[in-house]
Amino acid sequence: MNGLTEAAVRLDREDELASFRRRFRIPPGPDGKSSVYLCGNSLGLQPADTEATVLGLLEDWGRYGVEGHFRGERPWMPYHEQFAEPLAALAGALPAEVVCMNTLTVNLHLMMVSFYQPSNDRFRILIEKPAFPSDRYAVDSQARFHGLDPDDALIEVSPREGETVIRDADILEIIETRGDSIALVMLPGVQYYSGQRFDMEAITVAARKKGCRVGWDMAHAIGNVPLSLHDWGADFAVWCSYKYLNSGPGAVAGCFIHERHGSDPALPRFAGWWGHDKGSRFHMGPVFRPSPGAEGWQLSNPPILSMAPLIPSLHLFMDARMDRLTEKSRRLTGWLEELLKGRLSDRVEILTPAAHSQRGCQLSLRMLSGRPSGREVFERLTSAGVIVDWREPDVIRVAPVPLYNSFDDVRRFVGHLEEATS
Ligand SMILES: *Cc1c(COP(=O)(O)O)cnc(C)c1O
């Protein structure tokens, strides 16, 4: 065994969360052994219990038909309610402030219906640049929907010339100087491209002091970094469940709405019958009376089959606990960073901030020499059974996920990257 292998073995042996890896299905690589899967930022791996959970649901449907709404181990009528507690734990929220529904972009639109109410003086949306396209399209189309010109309505904050991440101070400066015209601050907790974590607390507090509404896109943050949405005072947040939450492609997403809005009748919202007060939902009357809390934003009766994978996924998070995952994440990503800096600093640049407080598990890498090109390196890695992802124009994103990745994965990745860049 060489020194690096020994170090990885030792680190894995000391890892109290190491056994969680066995509760996931790791896709095989070309040699039939497990691939080096560092792509949980894009699609999390399948928990070993997911199949049985989904099959159990099909069994209930087969056995009970419509009665499955009230019978079986997990009746469908209150099905979504079981996710409130674990999601609240991950979001740093009260159970009544979160709901599992729809998909991320749909929730973002629903939230903007309620929380983006432009007036003559206050009509702008602050967003980062370049933002994830769906978020950019969503805010752009919301501005247009209100008859505004997005060129006017959007304030986009980008990294300074020659820098790779956005300074929190620059965001705070915009809020301070232009906050009176900002209706909504809409930022990601962790930025998808750079892996940068924003100072969510400071930004939320500053924006609210200026009278802005604050919404967070937690697609890359939930299950990755600890969140305290309630205490920070955010107005809303949205996330998807297929990245760090491991609930499968296109999984049902989640939404946070602060309790101060939970039963505010003055807030506009788009309504559907599943958001109606539970006690009288089936009276089938024409007048909408919202359920208190985030549940009141639900539209349809939920897609139970798509929700089933959330059960084993969230169960794993509750077992592992976010505080322990955060601790391991720092060590795991820290080790990846250390190896890259020690062995590949002439070939690879890390865009992601070095401070743990400013990132989650993902590191975004850019190839320095230009030969082989970043794209070529990515393709070489892929053929060697290393699953990472490529983001135009020039970034390879690498995410060692503390729930199922090992220090040995990191070691193997670095070895493959050394080969692919030589
Ligand atoms: C993954 C991701 C999305 C995906 O949106 P869907 O509606 O789930 O397709 C949107 N925004 C951000 C920032 C993301 O990272």
What confidence score (pLDDT) does residue 281 get?
Answer: 84
Looking at the structure, do residues 328 and 312 belong to the same domain, yes or no? no
Q: In a 3-state reduction of DSSP, which class is residue 146?
A: coil
pLDDT tens figures, 148-167: 999 999 999 999 999 999 99
pLDDT attached to residue 376:
94
**Shared-domain flag, residues 351 and 203:** no
309 and 339 together in one domain: no
Task: Please check whether residues 253 and 198 belong to one and the same domain.
Answer: yes
Q: Do 215 and 103 lie in a common domain? A: yes
Question: Which tokens sit at 124?
Answer: 């702008």
* Residue 364 CB less than 6 A away from ligand 1: no
Whether 256 and 354 share a structural domain: no
The per-residue pLDDT for 179 is 98
23 and 166 housed in the same domain: no
Distance in Å, CA 250 to ligand 1 centroid: 10
* Cα dihedral value 197, 106, 82, 284, nearest 10: 150
The CA-CA-CA angle for residues 83, 215, 156, to 5°, reads 140
Residue 348 has pLDDT above 90, yes or no: yes
Residue 1 is predicted with a pLDDT of: 65
**Which pLDDT tens digit goes with each residue over 164-217?**
999 999 999 999 999 999 999 999 999 999 999 999 999 999 999 999 999 999
> Position of tokens 């959970």?
53
pTM above 0.85, yes or no: yes
Instruction: Give a yes or no: residue 294 inside a domain.
Output: yes
> Per the domain annotation, does 56 fall within a domain?
no
Asked whether residue 63 carries a pLDDT value surpassing 70, the answer given is yes
What's the number of domains the chain is made of?
2
Residue 59 lies in a domain: no
Atom 4 of ligand 1, residue of closest alpha carbon? 104
* Residue 353 pLDDT: 98
pLDDT of 61: 97
Shared-domain flag, residues 99 and 244: yes
CATH number of the domain residue 29 falls in: 3.90.1150.10
Domain identity same for 128 and 148: yes
34 lines ligand 1 (CB under 6 A): no
Residue 82 and residue 311 in contact, taking contact as beta carbons nearer than 8 Å: yes
Task: Calculate how far, in angstroms, residue 63's C-alpha sits from the geometric centre of ligand 1.
Answer: 36
What CATH number corresponds to the domain at position 236? 3.40.640.10
Checking if the pLDDT of 371 tops 90, the result is no
- What's the mean pLDDT in 141-150? 98
pLDDT at 2 (0 to 100): 85
pLDDT-derived band at 265, boundaries 50, 70, 90: confident
Q: Is 219 in the pocket of ligand 1 (CB under 6 A)?
A: yes
Residues with Cβ within 8 Å of 236's Cβ and at least 6 positions away in sequence, in order, are 111, 114, 115, 213, 215, 216, 255, 256, 257, 258, 261
**Nearest Cα residue to 18 out of 327, 406, 329, 413:** 406
Ligand 1 center–CA 134 separation, angstroms: 6
d(CA 138, CA 144): 10
Pick from 273, 295, 318: which residue ends a domain?
318
Ligand 1 centroid to Cα of residue 2, in Å, is 41
Please state, as a whole number, how many other Cβ atoms lie within 10 Å of the Cβ of residue 407: 24
Helix (H, G, I), strand (E, B) or coil at 25: strand
pLDDT at 81 over 90: yes
- Tens of pLDDT, residue by residue over 93-118, are 999 999 999 999 999 999 999 999 99
pLDDT of residue 369: 75
**Protein residue closest via CA to atom 15 of ligand 1:** 219
Average pLDDT, the chain: 96
The arithmetic mean of pLDDT across residues 273-302, rounded, is 92
- Residues 2-40 have pLDDT tens digits of 899 999 999 999 999 999 999 999 999 988 889 999 999
11 and 99 housed in the same domain: no
Close Cβ partners of 102 (under 8 Å, ≥ 6 residues apart): 110, 252, 253, 255, 299
Q: Is the CB of 134 under 6 A from ligand 1?
A: yes
- 321-331 mean pLDDT: 98
Domain that holds residue 7: 3-48+322-420
State how far the Cα of 321 lies from the Cα of 245, in Å rounded to an integer: 13
Do 103 and 248 lie in a common domain? yes
Measured CA to CA, the distance from residue 347 to residue 233 in angstroms comes to 42
Which two tokens mark 360?
């989650």
Centroid of ligand 1 to alpha carbon of 9 (angstroms): 35
Residues 296 and 330 in one domain: no
Q: Are 92 and 228 in contact (CB under 8 A)?
A: yes
